[in-house]
Amino acid sequence: MAEQPEIDPRYDPAFQRGYDGAVATGSRSEAAVRRTTPHVTSALQRPPAAPRGERPAEGSFDQVVGPPPGASATPETDAASAASAPPVVQVAGPALRAPWTNPFAIIVTIVGIGVLGVGVWLLQETFQMTQSETGFQTQADYWFMQWGMIAAPIFVGLGVAILVAVLIMCAVYWGRRPEPGATD
């Protein structure tokens, strides 16, 4: 005989395999009350409200924090504490670096132009081979023509995609650059 599955106390038993009791429906808070194990909540949640006749505990977080009893808050002490506070130094964020000064962007642009140039050259050579009277003379010419027909559009598309990515990078820089007269 197979083992009987145990009911996991962390979850509502009505939704577990092997539960034969009555299904008690209700909100999640009612289901939490029905649990047999303690319900753990976040430390950031407030405790249940105290009855109206009782005062909150001395260390309750509902109390307003102020100067200690017997101390008077005077403007002189407030001004002295403000003067002794360390000054706040605001540092401007680093200036955005233009893409044309980024060596990575320069190399990617050169690679994009190179890939586009190779693709256009392959297209031109392939079309020249297919339309000339002599066409291809050797087996290597035939293979070059076949691979050129396959690779040329790929190289052209890849070169265009790389150059579009570089243009998008420049557009993002242009959109993020600060206004000439804007100061914070």
Instruction: Write the pLDDT tens digit of every residue in 113-132.
Output: 999 999 999 999 988 888 88
Q: Could you give the CA distance from residue 102 to residue 147 in angstroms, rounded to a whole number?
A: 35
Assigned token pair, 19: 């539960």
Instruction: Write the pLDDT tens digit of every residue in 146-182.
Output: 898 999 999 999 999 999 999 998 888 887 776 666 6
Please check whether residue 13 is in contact with residue 21, taking contact to mean a CB–CB distance below 8 angstroms.
Answer: yes
Please check whether residue 119 is in contact with residue 162, taking contact to mean a CB–CB distance below 8 angstroms.
Answer: no
Look up the pTM and report it: 0.44
Q: Which residue has the tokens 């256009």?
A: 120
Distance, CA of 129 to chain centre: 51
